[in-house]
Amino acid sequence: MTAKVIDGKAFAAKVRAEVAEHVARLKDEHGLTPGLAVVLVGEDPASKVYVKNKHASTIEVGMASFEHRLSAETGEAELLALIDTLNADPAVHGILVQLPLPGHLNSELVINRIDPAKDVDGFHISNVGLLGTGQKSMVPCTPLGCLMMLRDHHGKLAGLNAVVVGRSNIVGKPMAQLLLGDSCTVTIAHSRTKDLAEVCKRADILVAAVGRPEMITGDMVRPGATVIDVGINRIERDGKAKLVGDVHYESAAAVAGAITPVPGGVGPMTIACLLANTMTACCRTNGLAEPKGLTA
Ligand code: GUN
């Protein structure tokens, strides 16, 4: 079997176009422009690229983008004061503090200072609790993007065996909660799971989010399974820099029913879902009906 390739780039373009349509309608009918504030502390090169891309995508869908770049030496009090200002600003509907923060800053304290209604990353402890108890929340962007692609491919997910490899707060845990919310039978596995291959082989849906290049190989994939690769690993092969996922693509694609490539799979969906979350936050804050299909 050769797997169907799930085109995240095309899907993300569709989501962004839907968001842009809703933005135009909000402007026309309510005089509202959804606004996203992104805070970057320090000079991490990868974070700088992410923030630049987020800014461009935000503008492209017609939203307002507010960028705050602070020096690596910024103190906690100054950062918390900026978050307080953004929390109080009615033009700002979404706030994202780019992670990782420099070591002297307490990420949990900073994230939990964000108004949960503006927490478009879904990292605030209130949103984590709401998601875990099946209540309406802001949902982390990467798992939300994976869920959208899975629903699009399968239709209903109820009753399917889902295995999530990875237990991070950003991807693994919320991904498992979302799949449970769609009535999958969910297993969370990780780098120390015994007989990982056997566990993975039970999966109708296999989500790889361990952060280890090409760790999931074809022999761990059930024939016909859907494989979602969240990994983005920069490696060197044959003297060239290469981007690979947590899945060994060639061997897995030979067995799977459907698979997301790296790049061009989950990656583009993350920013699209950030925009979708900003739209959702704007609608909720203003007591308006939120667009269907853009939330969990
Ligand atoms: N750094 C890497 N991924 C993310 C993300 O999804 N959100 C934030 N805030 N920082 C990140």
CATH superfamily entry for domain 31-115: Leucine Dehydrogenase, chain A, domain 1 (3.40.50.10860)
Q: Percentage of the chain with pLDDT > 90?
A: 99
The domains spanning 31-115 and 141-268 adopt the same CATH topology? yes
* Protein residue closest via CA to atom 8 of ligand 1: 98
Q: How far is the CA of 31 from the centre of ligand 1 (A)?
A: 30
Provide the pLDDT confidence category of residue 51 given band limits of 50, 70 and 90. Answer: very high
11, 148 in Cβ contact below 8 A?
A: yes
**Site to substitute for ligand 1 among 105, 124, 170, 232, most atoms within 8 A of C-beta:** 170
pTM assigned to the model: 0.97
CA 99 – ligand 1 centroid, Å: 5
Provide the 10 A C-beta neighbour count for residue 28. Answer: 9
Ordered by start, the domain boundaries in the chain are 31-115, 141-268
Mean per-residue pLDDT of the chain: 97
Closest to 145 (Cα-Cα) out of 243, 36, 265: 265
Candidates 236, 255, 234; CA nearest to 246 is: 234
Answer whether CATH 3.40.50.720 is correct for domain 141-268.
Answer: yes
Angle between helical axes of 8-30 and 45-60 (0-180°, round to 10): 50
Which ligand 1 atom is the nearest neighbour of the CA of 270? 6
User: Which amino acids bring their CB within 6 angstroms of ligand 1?
Assistant: 96-99, 121, 141, 170
- Each residue's pLDDT tens digit, 54-98: 999 999 999 999 999 999 999 999 999 999 999 999 999 999 999
pLDDT one-digit tens code per residue, 107-153 = 999 999 999 999 999 999 999 999 999 999 999 999 999 999 999 99
